[in-house]
Amino acid sequence: MKDFIQQLKKTAHLARLNLTEEEVEIYSKQLEDILNYFQKLQELDTSNVEPMAHVLPLNNIWREDEIKESMDQELILMNAPEVENNCFKVPKIVKED
């Protein structure tokens, strides 16, 4: 269980999700149950089966190299939480040591 909590924290970091201590406790139990249930899949022999990544047997879906007008800068930035000089603004990327 403790081991799984470590896993959970590591995974939450990969997904850039903050979890409160309470959430960690609740989710770890729930997720462990779910994952145990998923073990069921190991019952099936899939050694000769191809994984299904796409539903329809489509191939080579592409378009001609033509330019279409881009969207107005105003609309692109319209929903942005913080904008400066018509760019999206983000805080310090590298943390203070």
Partner 1 sequence: MYIPVIGLEVHAQLLTKSKMFCSCSTDHENAPPNTLVCPVCMGMPGVLPVVNKKAVELVIRTALALNCEISGFSKFDRKNYFYPDLPKGYQISQYDLPLAKGGYVEFEVDGEIKRVRLKRIHLEEDTGKLLHMGEGDRLAEAEYSLVDLNRCGIPLMELVTEPDIRSAKEARLFLQELRTILRYLEVSSGDMEKGSLRCDANISIMTEDGVFGTRTEIKNVNSFYSLEKALEYEIERQINLLKEGKEVIQETRHWDEKKQITVTLRGKEEAEDYRYFPEPDIPPLIIPKELLEEIKKTIPPLPLQRKLYLQKNYSLTSKEAEIITSEKELCDFFDKCLELYKNVKNLSNWITVELMSYLNDQKLNFKDLKIEPKDFVRIIEMVDKNEITRPVGKEILRKYLDTNESPEKIVEREGLKTVSDLEFLKDVVKKVIDGNEKAVSDYMKGKKNVINFLVGQVMKETKGRASLDLVKSLLEEELDKMK
Partner 2 sequence: MGELNSIKEIHDLYRKKEITIREVVDYFLKKIKKFDPLVHAFLKVDEDYINREIERVEKLDLNDKYPLYGIPIAIKDNILTKDLTTTCASKILENFIPPYDAEVIRRLKEKGAIIIGKTNLDEFAMGSSTENSAFGPTRNPWDLERVPGGSSGGSAVAVAVGESLLSLGSDTGGSIRQPASFTGVLGLKPTYGLVSRYGLVAFASSLDQIGPFARKVEDLAIILQSIAGYDPKDSTSSPNPIPNYLELLGKSIKGWKIGVPKEMWEKGVSEEVLNVLKESLNILERDLGAKLIEISLPSMEYALPTYYLIATSEASSNLARYDGIHYGYRNKEQKDLISLYKVSRGEGFGSEVKRRIILGTYALSAGYYDAYYLKAAKVRTIIRKEFESAFKNVDIIISPTSPILPFKLGEKIEDPLQMYLCDIMTIPVNLAGIPAISVPAGFKDNLPVGLQFMGPFFSEDKLLQISYAFQKIVDFSEKYPNLEMR
Binding site for partner 2 (CB under 8 A): 7-8, 11-20, 23, 27, 30-31, 33-35, 37-38, 40-44, 46, 49-56, 58, 61, 63, 71, 75-76, 78-82, 88, 90-96
CB 5 within 8 A of CB 24: yes
Q: Rank residues 2 and 92 by Cβ distance to partner 1 and give the closer one.
A: 92
Helix 21-38 crosses helix 2-14 at what angle (to 10 degrees)? 100
Using the rule CB under 8 A, give the single segment among 1-9, 24-32, 36-44, 73-81 that binds partner 1: 73-81
Q: What is the distance between the alpha carbons of residues 46 and 88, in angstroms, rounded to a whole number?
A: 47
**Is the dihedral angle over the CA atoms 24, 29, 32, 34 positive or is it negative?**
negative
CB 19 within 8 A of CB 30: no
Q: Rank residues 42 and 85 by Cβ distance to partner 2 and give the closer one.
A: 42
Interface residues toward partner 1, by CB under 8 A: 14, 16, 53-54, 56, 58-68, 70-71, 73, 76-77, 84-95, 97
